[in-house]
Amino acid sequence: MTISALTHIRRELAHRRTGGLEITLYWHTDDGGTSIDIRQDATEETMSFPVPPDRALDAFHHPFAHLASSGGDR
């Protein structure tokens, strides 16, 4: 394993399932950023987007409210 491979590690901070969705909050060890993954069980598709660390818990509980302001897929 190279050092560059170690810089892209993300750690799961929280995880929940609701209404056919799986929502996971991650912390990125390389830059201290946070992101949300939303996986839809029916289609097996996953959306990922960054969220500001100070809004991470709110984004975990209300991910679609933060998706529009995230600026895209991570």
Task: Encode pLDDT of 8-41 as tens digits.
Answer: 799 999 999 999 999 999 999 999 999 999 999 9
pLDDT of residue 44: 95
Contact partners, residue 53, CB within 8 Å, separation at least 6: 27, 32, 33, 34
Domain interval for residue 56: 3-70
Residue 71's pLDDT band (boundaries 50, 70, 90)? low
Sheet with 10-18, side-by-side order of all strands: 10-18, 21-28, 34-40, 45-51
Structural domains in the chain (count) = 1
CB atoms within 10 A of CB 53: 14
* Burial class of 57 by CB neighbour count within 10 A (0 to 12, 13 to 18, 19+): middle
